[in-house]
């Protein structure tokens, strides 16, 4: 599997382990904040998150390889962008901010669905998120923040399906869940 290395860009740190994440219940009611690090310790603590699926005009999906320094799933391939909203920030503001910070892109993103999941990464910790999934299209090429992204590429959905079947262990667990759900329940929302 090849990927285009992230081009040189004025990269900056856009998230920190001490950054407060929004704790939620299963109905997405905010119940407090906790550091990103603590949210990912052990079995994880349920917090608010989002995942973005950005397509180009040819209908290809932008996927990224997570930076090797990531605590959870380093160097794994994943969806276009994922992160967490900040306290006092709407989800729409958060997805716009993070897409720009991480990929240097702007896109009109539409909310598709929300789901809760948990996944453990060896002894390093866990994700436990209530995740809002968005889909959008961009006509620009990404200029990734190299503190976040090791490589990126556009991939046709059929090729992605083959890779997810043949090389599933190279992809993040949330990406696999989200892609399956998008195709099974929301195919009409995809470009």
Active-site positions read 82, 129
Beta bridge partners of 125: 121
Q: What is the DSSP letter of 171?
A: B
How many CB atoms are located within 10 Å of the residue 78 CB?
Answer: 22
State whether the Cα torsion 173-176-178-184 is positive or negative. negative
Q: How far apart are CA 26 and CA 33, in angstroms?
A: 15
Q: For the residues of 45-68, what is the DSSP string, one character each? A: --EEEEEEEEE-TTSPEEEEEEPT
Among the listed residues 164, 89, 177, the one whose alpha carbon sits nearest the alpha carbon of residue 131 = 177
Q: Where are the alpha helices (DSSP H) in 48-190?
A: 91-103, 157-166, 173-185
Rounded CA-CA distance 163/184 in Å is 17
């Amino acid at each position: 599997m090849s990927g285009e290395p992230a081009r040189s860009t004025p990269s900056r740190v856009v998230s920190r382990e001490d950054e407060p994440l929004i704790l939620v219940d299963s109905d997405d009611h905010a119940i407090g904040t906790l550091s990103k690090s603590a949210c990912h310790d052990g079995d994880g603590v349920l917090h608010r998150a989002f995942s973005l699926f950005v397509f180009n005009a040819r209908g290809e999906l932008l996927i990224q390889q997570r930076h090797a320094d990531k605590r959870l799933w380093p160097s794994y391939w994943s969806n276009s962008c994922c992160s967490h909203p900040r306290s006092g920030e709407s989800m729409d503001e958060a997805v716009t901010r993070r897409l720009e910070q991480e990929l240097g892109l702007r896109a009109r993103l539409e909310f598709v669905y929300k789901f809760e999941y948990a996944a453990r990464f060896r002894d390093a910790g866990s994700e436990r998120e209530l995740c809002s999934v968005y889909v959008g299209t961009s006509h620009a090429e990404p200029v990734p923040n190299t503190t976040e992204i090791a490589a990126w590429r556009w991939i046709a959905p059929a090729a992605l399906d083959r890779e997810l079947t043949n090389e599933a262990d190279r992809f993040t667990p949330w990406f696999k869940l989200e892609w399956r759900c998008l195709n099974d329940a929301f195919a009409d929302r995809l470009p």
